[in-house]
Structure 1
Amino acid sequence: MTLTATFLTERTILSSQNDDVSAINTAALNIFPDPPRLPAFNVEFKVGCPIMLLRNIASKDGLCNGTKLMVSRCNTRIIEAQILTGEKCGNLVFIPRISLTSSSSEMPFRMTRRQFPVRLAYALTINKSQGQSVKFVGVDLRTPVFSHGQVYVALSRCTSFDRISVLLPNDKPDSTTNIVYTEILL
C-alpha cells in the first residue's frame, strides 16, 4: 500500500490521553513496512509517515505548532516534509533539530538537548485535533474523556457521520483494537 498526502489528510484517530496516542501511533507504525532500500530510522517514524509539529518554527511558511506533515526524507540533522494542512498545504519544507531547554524546577540545573520538534501523527489527542476536518475519523474512548465537550470535538472532526468509528472500553481483553486501527488507516 502506498501512502499519499490525500490518504493521510483524510484520516485520523483521536484519543483523550497522550499515552493512548503513543500506543496507537506505535501500533500504526508497525502495520506499514519499511520503504524499499532504506534502513529503519533510529527515531520513531519512517519516510511516508504523518508527523505533527510541536513548536512554532516559521509561522509565515506554515510551520506552526499543530501543523500536520508527511515525511519525505530524513537525515540526522534535518527532516524534509510536505505540509498536509493549512494555507501552505502541499509545500515542501525542512524541519531542523532545535535546542530545547527543560523548564523543570525539580532539577538544580537546566538541561538542553537538540531534537526534532515533531511527533508521529497517525493518532492525535482530541485537543490537538481542534480546527481540523478529515474524511475518516476513529475515536478511541477506552480511556474516559475529561468532559462531554471533548467527545463533541472528536466527533465533529469528521466531514460525515457515517465515516466515524468509535472504540469503546471492553471489560475483557480482545484483539479487535488492532483491527479497528487497521480499518481506519486502510
Structure 2
Amino acid sequence: MLKRTRKLQNLQNGFLMSTTARWRIYIQITFIRIQIIIPRKYLVEKKTNIAKDIVDVTYPDFTKNYTTESYLRERAILTPTNAIVDEVNFHVLNLIPGITHSYLSQDSIDTETGNDDNDYESSFPIEYLNSINMPSIPKHYLKLKVEAIVILMRNLNQIMGLCNGTRMVLTKCLKNSVECQLLTGSHAGTKVLIPRIEMEPTDTHFPFVFNRIQFPLQICFTMTIKKSQGQSLQTVGLFLPRPAFSHGQLYVVISRVTSPDGLHILIEGDNGETCNFTANVVFDEVFYNLPVSV
C-alpha cells in the first residue's frame, strides 16, 4: 500500500498532459491538496460581467461573425453544470439580433404503466410537469433564434448525420418544425427539418412515466464538459465559477482543443474574483492496479 501511495504521489507531482494528433500541451501542476495551479497564459481575467468576459474571449467580435459558419464551428464554451450553461447561452442569444421564437412543450404522464389506484393527474398537475427540467430532455419553454447554434439531444437519422450531440445552426423557425444546417461531420452544410418528438427520460425518481413532446434541441454556444466529449474545437473557453466535480473533467476539456493557443480558462474564486487554481478530481481507485517497481 505504501508503494502504491508513493506511485500516486509521483504521478500527482508530474504533468497534466493532453495529446492530440499533432501536438501536446503540458500544464505544470502544483498540488495544494486537491487543487492545481493553471499557468497565467491560459487564464482569462474578470473585467466586468464574468459571463461576458468568457464570451468575449471565446467569441471575439461576435456581432460581426455570428453568421459565419467556420467561426461558429470551431469554438465553444465548456462548463461543468447545466445551470451555468443556461446562463451563458442566454447571454449570447441576446447578442443575436432578430425575433426570439418561443416553443412550449406538451407534457403528460403515461398512466397505463402506473398504479391505477392513484390519481396521478390530480397529484401532479400540468404546471408541475412543465416545471420539470432535466439534462436529458429539452426545456418546456424553449427559446430559439435564427443563426443560433443548437445541439441535437436525440438520434433522429444517423445516416444523415442527425445524431445525439450534433451541432447545427438554426436557419428557420416555423410553427411545427425548425430548419437547421449541420455544422460538422460529413453532412456539414446540409439543411434538415427538425420536428417535435416525444421524449421520455429514462433515469428519474418519479413514480410515473413522464413524456414531453418538444423539439429535441438545446442552445449550444455553451455546453457541459460531459456533452463536449467527441467534439474537436480550435477555440475552447473553460468557464469554472465552481470546480469540475467529476473524474477527469479537466482532461476532457483540454483534449477538446486542437491548439494550445485556443485554450482560455476563467476561474471564479470563492470571493467572486478570478483566480489561477481549481480542483482536479481524480478517483484514487484508478491508481490501485498500477504496476509498482520493487
Using the size of structure 1 for normalisation, the TM-score is: 0.83
Q: C-alpha distance in 2, partners of 1:105/1:167?
A: 34
Judged with a 3 Å threshold, the aligned counterparts in structure 2 of structure 1 residues 105 and 16 are, in CA distance, closer, same or farther, namely closer
Q: C-alpha distance in 1, partners of 2:158/2:96?
A: 32
Correspondence 1:170 to 2:269: yes
1:85-124 paired onto structure 2 within 5 Å: 85-101=184-200, 103=202, 104=204, 106-108=206-208, 110-124=209-223
Cross-structure match for 2:175:
76
Is the Cα–Cα contact under 8 Å of residues 82 and 92 in structure 1 kept in the other structure?
yes
Equivalent residue for 1:132, pick from 227, 231, 242: 231
Correspondence 1:41 to 2:101: yes
Shift of 1:114: 1.8
Deviations 1:37-66 (A, max 9, x none): xx3211312000000000001111111100
Q: C-alpha distance in 1, partners of 2:232/2:199?
A: 31
Cross-structure match for 2:149:
50
Q: C-alpha distance in 1, partners of 2:212/2:263?
A: 40
Equivalent residue for 1:18, pick from 59, 73, 82: 82
Cross-structure match for 1:27:
91
- List alignment gaps of at least 5 residues for structure 2: 1-63, 103-141, 275-294
Correspondence 1:153 to 2:252: yes
Secondary structure at the counterpart of residue 144 of structure 2: coil
Cross-structure match for 1:64:
163
Q: C-alpha distance in 1, partners of 2:219/2:253?
A: 19
Q: C-alpha distance in 1, partners of 2:90/2:272?
A: 19
Cross-structure match for 1:181:
none
| Identical amino acids, percent of aligned pairs | 39
Cross-structure match for 2:283:
none
Q: C-alpha distance in 1, partners of 2:247/2:153?
A: 26
Q: C-alpha distance in 2, partners of 1:168/1:153?
A: 17
Is the Cα–Cα contact under 8 Å of residues 236 and 263 in structure 2 kept in the other structure?
yes
Shift of 1:88: 1.4
Q: Aligned-residue CA RMSD in angstroms?
A: 1.9
Secondary structure at the counterpart of residue 23 of structure 1: helix
What one-letter code is carried by the residue in structure 2 that aligns with 1:106? F
Judged with a 3 Å threshold, the aligned counterparts in structure 2 of structure 1 residues 91 and 142 are, in CA distance, closer, same or farther, namely same
What one-letter code is carried by the residue in structure 2 that aligns with 1:40? T
What one-letter code is carried by the residue in structure 2 that aligns with 1:161? P
Using the size of structure 2 for normalisation, the TM-score is: 0.54
Judged with a 3 Å threshold, the aligned counterparts in structure 2 of structure 1 residues 78 and 45 are, in CA distance, closer, same or farther, namely same
Q: How many pairs does the alignment contain?
A: 170
Deviates more, 1:4-13 or 1:146-155: 146-155
Judged with a 3 Å threshold, the aligned counterparts in structure 2 of structure 1 residues 147 and 57 are, in CA distance, closer, same or farther, namely same
Bigger-Rg structure (1/2): 2
Is the Cα–Cα contact under 8 Å of residues 17 and 143 in structure 1 kept in the other structure?
no
Shift of 1:147: 4.0
